[in-house]
Structure 1
Amino acid sequence: MSEYGEFETGQEHESLDQVHEVDASEQDYQSQFGVYEQDHASAESTSFDQGHHVEYTDPNGGHYEESDFTSYDHSAAESDHVFAAEGSESYNASEFHQLDALQARLDATFAEGTFASN
């Protein structure tokens, strides 16, 4: 303390450091496949026979004979086959990086005094 009063001077220094960091990643995979199959088979068979026969012998020795005949045959076979396949596949990947930094510096100087008057 002096006769003129009291004086104080000084400096203040402060700093603030803050870091925020985020790392993230995502992966996605999808697949879908389908197989379709169909079979069909059929068979048909037809047989038709018809006959007619007449035979005659008279007392005088005459002979008469008649024959009619029809024959029909049919065969058929059918086969179908269907095959189908479909599919899809997908892949996705992403990454995310974030860095936030805050830096602040506070500097201050001051002077204080108290004066006395005589």
Structure 2
Amino acid sequence: MSEYGDTGYDGGADYGHYEAGQEHESLDQLHQAAGSEQNYDSQFGVYEADHASAENTSFDQGHHVEYSDPNGTHYEESDYTSYDHSAAETDHVFAAEGSESYSASEWSQLDALQHQLDTAFASATQISTVSN
């Protein structure tokens, strides 16, 4: 007797399964990266100098002559020299220099990958015959 019912035919063959179809799949991949960089630099220098000087000069000179003779003549002379000098000087120098810099950069990267996979398949089972 066969597995398909009693048809009166028993050829000793087993029929299996048959399947066919299609598959559709897709692959989506997204990669994103971002970054930034900032730099700041400052450099300053200061120069300062002070100078001060003072000078004082004082010069005094005196001369006196007096003469009297027996006849009653009288002579007198006086010379006097006085010199004074005062000076003061101050200097101040101030200098400053500097530099300052700033830089910034940003970046961003986006990679996208899409792949479509289409397949068709068919499969069948074996037919096996049994001989007696």
TM tier, shorter chain?
0.7 to 0.9
2:59 counterpart of 1:54: no
Under a length normalisation based on structure 1, what TM-score does the superposition of the two structures give? 0.73
Task: Report whether the alignment pairs 1:22 with 2:37.
Answer: no
Deviations 1:51-91 (A, max 9, x none): 22121222333222222222222221111112222333332
How much has 1:107 moved relative to structure 2?
0.4
- Percent identical pairs in the alignment equals 75
Please give the root-mean-square deviation of Cα atoms over the aligned residues, in Å: 2.8
1:37 to 30, 48, 62: 48
Equivalence for 2:85: 74
In structure 1, the residue corresponding to 2:33 is in which secondary structure? Answer: strand
For structure 1, list consecutive stretches of 5 or more residues without a partner in the other structure: none
Taking the aligned partners of 2:65 and 2:104, their CA distance within structure 1 comes to: 93
Deviation at 1:111, TM superposition (A): 4.3
Aligned to 1:63: 74
Q: What corresponds to 2:8 in structure 1?
A: none
TM-superposition CA deviations, 1:25-48 (whole Å, max 9, x none): 112222233332221111111111
TM-score by length of structure 2 reads 0.67
For residue 96 of structure 2, what is the aligned residue in structure 1?
Answer: 85
Give the whole-Å Cα distance in 2 for the aligned partners of 1:13 and 1:61: 154
Give the Cα separation in 2 of the matches to 1:21 and 1:33: 41
Find runs of 4+ consecutive structure 1 residues off by over 6 angstroms: none
Q: In 2, Cα distance between the equivalents of 1:73 and 1:16?
A: 105
Tell me which residue corresponds to 1:98.
Answer: 109
More strand by share: 1
Unaligned stretches of 5+ residues in structure 2: 1-12, 128-132
